[in-house]
Structure 1
Amino acid sequence: MDGQAVPSVMQLSTFTKVTSIPREKSYREFPVMVRVKAPEMTVHQHSPVDIVAVIDVSWSMGWDDKYGKEPNDRLILVKKAMAKVIKNLAGAQNRLAVVAFDHEIKKSTELLEMNDKGQQSALETVNGLTPFGRTTFSIGLKEAAKILDKRAAREKDRLAFIIFLSDGDDPEFTKEDIPPAYPIHAFGFSADHDPKALQDMANLTMGSYTPINKDLEKITEKLDQLSEKLVSIVAVNTVIHLKTMHSGVFLSKIESSSANDAVVSYKSRLADGKQSGEIIVGDVSSGKEMEFTVYLDVPECQGNCTDGAMELLTVGGVYKQSWDQKQVELSKSVLTVERPASCKELDWIEQRVEYWCKVKLDLSAMYDKVCGGNGDESNCQCQDLQALRETSLEAINQAMRNDIYTATLHAIKLRHCGGAVAAETEKSPLEPVQPAKAV
């Protein structure tokens, strides 16, 4: 029905390993994990993609590399890897164009649908590449952008990407040479490539950067993983919204926590005096998840916690379904942290031990004062006091054991300040035992 909310297939969750903060304490860079995950989905719920493979064919691509099991021509490895990419793009109306460059364009094809004929044509183009000149990154990138820009209006909704493959560097390359409209997934292989330039390509376009400095045989594996990811994207333009729930809570910084060989780019920004922000995630593929750590500066509770807890952060977001471009809202959640009173339970136990030691010392001092510390057995008063002293010590020891045992049980119950503590728990619920009066 028109106007009806579309249920989200994406999962957004928040959690933190730190479950409580003592109310009298502040916490700088309190870590909150934010995770967005796409479920496994069928091919019918994926959008067809247009990919331009930009391949460096400069003279260094003909070098043998000694890091692998055997010396290998770098371009031969790229050809093998591209064969895997072409196979993964088969069907679902996916399209591929190939651009080969050194200091000029050596080969450029149109976007070919990856049916049997298109796959065969793409393979022949890739296998026919040979290394020759010097490396000029901007030449290949501009040609790729031109191919994607000239698509018909009805094709502009298709997902489009650039895969950039190079083993070299270009001293004249700048950020201004990067076409911003399409995500660039850059692969740099051998220790000779320029990591900064390729990282800039990824960062400015929400793409990724994968360095392969050793064991260049991994080029096939990494390109295989990337192409499978690109043809299974289910969410695009994914954005996570963050808003603090307390006037004294501020966003400190945001970091990616996802473990991946590729450096996947994302963008984040803070606003409203660091009390709101967003994480621009971009594309999420079927069955994949992305995790971020949001750091908060949390103040002392100062008596304004509700039932010993504080609401810190609300997390929500939006994305578009790749197959129909419908915008969907991610489920919103509120992160709450316990704010118990300071952990005074162990102090209470120590104070009780000190108290009972003082009671016993006072009893001994009273006996020594009357009997002069000699313990004169012939003095009847001293004999009576000695008996009274022994009886009193026995009673004091029994009371001390009961008192300390009760305090210890209470400390265990509070689970080292991790459980909920009533707001009125500002002092020990166990009042000090009053010392017995001397008789």
Structure 2
Amino acid sequence: MATDGQVIPSAMQLSTFTKVTSIPKEESYKDFPVAVRVKAPEMTFHEHALVDIVAVIDVSGTMGWNYVNGSAVPNHRLELVKEAMKKVIENLGGAQNRLAVVPFSDKVIEAGVTPLTEMTKEGQQRVQKTVDGLKPGGGTAFRAPLQKAAQILDDRKAVEDRLAFIIFLSDGKDTYGFSKEDIPRAYQIHTFGISEDHSAEALQNMATVTSGSYTTITNNDLDKITEKMDQLSDKLSSIVAVDMSIYLKSLNPGVSLLRIESCTADDTSSKSQISDNKLSANIFVRTISSSEEREFTAYLHVPESQGNGSKGVMELLTVGGRYNQSWDRKQITLSESVVTIERPGSTPPAPSSCKELNWIEERVEYWCKVKLDLSAMYDKAEAEAGVTVSGGESQCQCQCQDLQTLRAGSLVAIDRAMHHDIYTATLLAVKLRHCSRGGAAEPATENAPSTTAQGAKAV
């Protein structure tokens, strides 16, 4: 569409982000993440393509009844779908969008089929009346209604400025041999699996093969059908870009693309492909609606840097793309960006001219060894006192109490000596701290304390 004869350009934004900004040049990084984000601005209905939608609605017996032990109990699923269709019809109004309905059970219910009808006020009322008149009954077969929906869209005469979609709702399992080969590829199919007993695999295949969407609604959430259908129909009637292709190309022979993931859970509306040599990739997005944001994460292998110098920048990827405006199919090129990463060199270690800086750790290890030896000595003495009872039980109790008193006193004395010793070593290390920066050590005014316990570990 155009305003005053001028094509309205899209302001689609493509951007890249990295959470990691620096990798030492001597290190490699596997699974380095790069976020690729595309965002559509909010646009008016003048910048949206017109849409044709065929709603394929399951009206089998289970859409109205649960059959338990030979008894039929109402479940109102079809009534909830009718309410949801009211919101779809409302969202498609106000423009020249069109809607058709194909009800089915074990066959297409021809009496309930409507042609593509423009959503004027009169057209909305006519389609809603047909939907309200649907009744549940029969089995479940997917092939015939899907073929009918595709045929309705195929028979259109003026399709240059229109997008076409199929919405497929069912609560049951196909019992007539439906397979992937029965799915029409020309149109996006957006499926809704109602209740836990629907054909999940078949509905998901419809969505995946056509880059559509698959939504499940459990028995406990049946009241959300209207909300979900409202969101979908609003999205389909505000599409601003179609057939988007985002490319990623390595700018370094050692930088390879490992995988690409969508940041949207269960995303079936986009696909990605990495080249055999892993130096390039493409992300394909079928449609993007007004204000919609899509984000993907590309995981790279980044090798060690072969450049010279202590600090540099490595170019990893170039990212760009193109898409078609939905209303006139004019191709738009996305601005290209380059993903870089800093590759600093490691800082050479300071000259090891001040071994005294290790004194603190050595002294801690030494005193821990002393404490362990002391504890073991008293444990042995108390054990011997417990079995040597020549003076009777009272003599044993007296010896044990004396040993416990000596243990406590010894520990206090050792703690005091340890604190003084480590404090002295710390003062000396502080005096010589500039050695770690490569400077000459000041002459020591006191000797380093000797260590008599070597190799003991701190506890």
If the TM-score is normalised by the length of the shorter chain, which range does it land in? Answer: 0.7 to 0.9
Distance, in Å, in 2 between the alignment partners of 1:221 and 1:7 is: 32
Distance, in Å, in 2 between the alignment partners of 1:398 and 1:84 is: 76
Distance, in Å, in 2 between the alignment partners of 1:55 and 1:331 is: 42
Distance, in Å, in 1 between the alignment partners of 2:92 and 2:98 is: 7
- Selected match of 1:194 from 191, 199, 207: 199
Report if the CA contact (8 A) 2:171-2:194 is conserved. Answer: yes
Question: Do residues 95 (structure 1) and 98 (structure 2) align?
Answer: yes
The one-character-per-residue Cα deviations of 1:169-192 (angstroms, maximum 9, x if unpaired) are 225211101000000011111000
Which blocks of at least 5 consecutive residues in structure 1 are unaligned?
Answer: 362-391, 405-429
Question: Do residues 265 (structure 1) and 294 (structure 2) align?
Answer: no
- Selected match of 1:47 from 43, 46, 49: 49
Matching residue of 2:341: 337
Report if the CA contact (8 A) 2:49-2:161 is conserved. Answer: no
> What's the offset of the Cα at 1:139?
1.3
Distance, in Å, in 2 between the alignment partners of 1:395 and 1:220 is: 75
> What's the offset of the Cα at 1:300?
1.0
> What's the offset of the Cα at 1:157?
3.9
Q: Tell me, what secondary structure is at the counterpart of 2:315?
A: strand
Question: Do residues 146 (structure 1) and 147 (structure 2) align?
Answer: no
- Selected match of 2:130 from 125, 129, 144: 125
Report if the CA contact (8 A) 1:184-1:205 is conserved. Answer: yes
The one-character-per-residue Cα deviations of 1:48-105 (angstroms, maximum 9, x if unpaired) are 1000000011111112599xxx974110010000011001100210000000011111
Distance 1:179 1:334, change over 3 A: same
Distance, in Å, in 1 between the alignment partners of 2:19 and 2:132 is: 52
Distance, in Å, in 1 between the alignment partners of 2:49 and 2:358 is: 77
Matching residue of 2:59: 57
Q: Tell me, what secondary structure is at the counterpart of 2:33?
A: strand
Distance, in Å, in 2 between the alignment partners of 1:305 and 1:245 is: 20
Letter in 1 for 2:332: V
Q: Which has the higher contact order (CA 8 A, sep 6+)?
A: 1
Report if the CA contact (8 A) 1:6-1:328 is conserved. Answer: no
Report if the CA contact (8 A) 2:432-2:441 is conserved. Answer: no
Distance 1:119 1:341, change over 3 A: same
Letter in 2 for 1:193: H
Deviates more, 1:93-102 or 1:13-22: 13-22
> What's the offset of the Cα at 1:215?
1.1
Distance, in Å, in 2 between the alignment partners of 1:83 and 1:128 is: 13
The 5 Å alignment of 1:187-226 reads 187-213=192-218, 214-226=220-232
- Selected match of 2:438 from 419, 431, 434: 431
Letter in 2 for 1:232: S
TM normalised by structure 2 equals: 0.74
Question: Do residues 174 (structure 1) and 191 (structure 2) align?
Answer: no
- Selected match of 1:159 from 142, 158, 163: 163
Pairwise CA RMSD? 3.2
Letter in 2 for 1:10: M
Report if the CA contact (8 A) 2:188-2:211 is conserved. Answer: yes
Question: Do residues 246 (structure 1) and 252 (structure 2) align?
Answer: yes
Matching residue of 1:381: none
Letter in 2 for 1:294: A
Report if the CA contact (8 A) 2:41-2:291 is conserved. Answer: yes
Letter in 2 for 1:242: L
> What's the offset of the Cα at 1:199?
1.2
Q: Tell me, what secondary structure is at the counterpart of 2:216?
A: strand
Identity of aligned residues (%): 56
The one-character-per-residue Cα deviations of 1:330-355 (angstroms, maximum 9, x if unpaired) are 1110010111234x68x769x68745
Distance, in Å, in 2 between the alignment partners of 1:197 and 1:121 is: 31
> What's the offset of the Cα at 1:399?
3.8
Distance 1:393 1:325, change over 3 A: closer
Distance, in Å, in 1 between the alignment partners of 2:358 and 2:275 is: 58
- Selected match of 1:316 from 306, 314, 320: 320
